[in-house]
Amino acid sequence: MTETLSTPVTPSPDTSRRASSRVRSTSRGRRPGGAAGPSLRERRLSRTGLLAVTPALLLTAVFFVVPVALMAWMSLHRWPLLGRSTFIGLDNYVRAFTADDTFLRSIGFTLIYTVVITPILFVAGLALAFFVRRPSRASTFFRTIFFTPYVIGFAAASFLWLWFTDPSAGSVNAILTSLGTEVDQTSWFVEQWPALINVIVMVTWKVVGFQMILLLGGLNSVPEDVLEAAQIDGAGWWRRLTGIILPLMKPTIILVLVFSISGSLLAFEQFFLITKGRPDNETVTAVYWIYNVSFTKFELGYGAALSVIMLVLLLIVAAAQIRLLRGPKND
């Protein structure tokens, strides 16, 4: 950490000046009773530190801590947009699990989406990482292009995909037609599985470069000589991959999986903009349904209860991440 910064700083030239000034300042006697000084100084320092972090903490308190508490409180109420809220205990939670089919279906759909896309992203990301592993200019160019879709926004990417795969005006249609193939792309937007696959292709295009970059970092941590030794010993590429490379990359793999799992559980834009929940709310994700409940039906209390359930789900994933990451350290 210090090593990297020492280059721009180069404190060495003025050591002499520093030494002389130290003498000067002590003789000036800034603080009476030198030995007792530190405690006073320390206290002053702490106040400076606290003062410096206060503005950020204030914002965090108002727009993060308060909303978390308020969410729990709201979830116990019937809370309309306007008018008085009424306390109803756990009724919102009971309703979520017993009377709201769309919510349960949206959770199920979100889980299906997550379970399908996570291995796709991982395998594709790993394959790309192997592909661009060799250090060369062309590799760098390929990496850069593969990564580029990641930097644009999810909304922009969704609008783009809406156009790109549009059944009549879109470019995919133009290309397929020019190749002499007729494909009815309407189902890519209005039927559950075709629409899901369309979204998965879009998301893979958009984020696989990110996974590739992280996995490339992990791949480079695998010592070359170990692999060569294994090769000499006659281990085939599959053995080397599953027996050496993947186990050594474990921390990166966990990280990458957590990114794609937590990202997929929060999916919204790609479905809201591309499938619009069609057909009949079958491609509505959990966040999408919370949005519908809170901001189109304005049942804020019920929306808050659904958010709490969602949050618990996310915290379970986060806890699993921490446990998995701590695991390898112990053995």
Torsion of CA 69, 74, 77, 82, to 10 degrees: 140
Residues 198-237 that bind another protein (CB under 8 A): 205, 209-210, 213-214, 216-221, 223-224
CA gap 272, 180 in Å, rounded: 32
Q: Which two tokens stand for residue 255?
A: 């990280």
Nearer to another protein, 146 or 188 (CB): 146
Per CB under 8 A, which region of 32-40, 46-54, 187-195, 238-246 contacts another protein?
Answer: 46-54
Residues 271-290 that bind another protein (CB under 8 A): 272-273, 287, 290
Taking CB under 8 A as the criterion, the residue among 34, 38, 40, 53 binding another protein is 53
Lay out the site mask for another protein across 144-173 (x = CB under 8 A, - = otherwise): xxxxxx-xxxxxx--xxxxxx-x-xxxx-x
DSSP assignment string, 96-158 = HHHT-HHHHHHHHHHHHHHHHHHHHHHHHHHHHHHHT-S-SHHHHHHHHHHHHHHHS-HHHHH
Report whether 310 contacts 290 (CB < 8 A): yes
Lay out the site mask for another protein across 86-125 (x = CB under 8 A, - = otherwise): ----------------------------------------
Per CB under 8 A, which region of 92-100, 183-191, 237-245, 300-308 contacts another protein?
Answer: 300-308
Number of residues that bind another protein (CB under 8 A): 117
- The DSSP letter of residue 279 is T
Work out the number of other CB atoms within 10 angstroms of the CB of residue 284.
24
Measure CA 315 to chain center. Answer: 14
Taking CB under 8 A as the criterion, the residue among 34, 36, 38, 65 binding another protein is 65
Nearer to another protein, 123 or 156 (CB): 156
Taking CB under 8 A as the criterion, the residue among 78, 95, 105, 133 binding another protein is 133
Taking CB under 8 A as the criterion, the residue among 13, 32, 138, 232 binding another protein is 138
CA gap 273, 156 in Å, rounded: 10
Phi, psi of 11 (to 5 degrees): -80, -10
Taking CB under 8 A as the criterion, the residue among 36, 40, 59, 112 binding another protein is 59
